[in-house]
Structure formats: C-alpha cells, structure tokens
Amino acid sequence: LGDPGGPGRMVYDVSYFLVFGVMLLNAVVGLVVNSFSALRAETVAREHNLETQTFISGLERRIIETSAQQAGISNGFVYHEESRQNKWGYMAFIFHLREKDTEDYTGPEQSILNQIQRGDVGWLPLGRSSLLEADKTYGGEDTLSRIEREAQGARRDLKALSQGQQQLQAALRSLSRRVDEGVERVQTVLTPYEGEADLMSFPRT
C-alpha cells in the first residue's frame, strides 16, 4: 500500500486487461463468429440450390414440376433427379470410362472422355431435359434464353454476397478503429506515470 508506484502499476494492469483481455478478445470472437456466419450462409445457399434446381442440368424446380404434371407424373422433381438425370449415374459413367480399356472405346465414349480430360462440360445436358422438351409449354424455349435467365439469378446472388463482404469489411475497420482509440486512451493515461516510474528505477543514495 505504501509503494509510490502502486497507482501507476494498478492503472497499467487495468489498462492491459481492458486492451488485451477484453477488446482484442472481442475482436477475435467477432472474427470467428463472422467466419462461421459466412460458412453457414454458404451452406444454406448450397442447400437452397439443391432443393430448387436440378443437379445436372441446373433447371428450376417449378419448371420440372410443371412439365411432370403435364405428363401425369407426381413428385416430378424427385422423379427427374432419380430417374431422368441421376447424378450417381453420371458419376458411374465417368468411372466406367476411366476403367474401360482404351481399345474398347466407342466413338462417343472417346469424345466424352476427351472432354472430361479437358474439363469441358459440354457433354452434359446443361439447361436441357427430355422431360422439359416433351412439354409444349417449355419445350419451345431457347436454351440460351434459359441460361441467360439463370445467369441473371447467379449475378444477383453474387451481388448480394459482395454486399455482405463489404459490410463485414466495414465492421472490421470500425472494430480496428475502436481498438486503436482504446490503445491511445491507455497510453494517454499511462503517460504521467512513465516519468515517475523512471525516477523510481534509479537507486536512492
């Protein structure tokens, strides 16, 4: 209690706790929470796409359901994904091509394998479905028009994601400014005690 440097030491300890124990900890926790929020949003978006678009062709669920109803098929989206464009069937076909002897390839198989090796997805029915083409309501729609409509939706999603990233960056900049301001206030409080601490460091004669 009689130590002349006690008040300065107390201010230093409290300031250290406020800066490193509270403000920086909150900054780290905020970054972790925002990271998990971004991952959660990405997962939700992926699940939404799986529920509202076909996996292979990327067609909207409502269009598939409507075409299936016209053909007298109930639960058309599930039927389309499991029977017409089963993703595991496409995967099995790719493995079949990789395991098959090159001398036994047919012309179409060789052509598709070359596209797979180049990373070309032109062999997939993107924006197309035999179920959809059989429906007069959507069968006449140009494939490029569907792709353009879906591209517009993708651009809207990317714009929303970009806005979310900008908001996150703005929040991080604001948090960084608050931390800097807190450090400056602590330094201002400690400045009067620095000279006293220097004088106390010299032994008295």
User: How far apart are the C-alpha atoms of 54 and 94, rounded to whole Å?
Assistant: 19
CA-based nearest residue to 60, from 77, 42, 75, 40: 77
pLDDT tens-digit profile of 88-113?
Answer: 999 999 999 999 998 899 999 999 99
pLDDT at 199: 45
Cα(154)–Cα(149) distance, integer angstroms: 9
Residue 139 has pLDDT above 60, yes or no: no
pLDDT at 201: 47
DSSP summary character for residue 60: B
pTM: 0.51
Beta strand ranges found along 25-160 (DSSP E): none
Residues 81, 87: contact at Cβ < 8 Å? yes
pLDDT digits (tens, 9 = 90+) for 46-65: 888 888 889 998 888 888 88
117 or 11: which leads in pLDDT = 117
Closest CA to 117 of 94, 88, 90: 94
Please give the mean pLDDT across all residues of the chain: 77
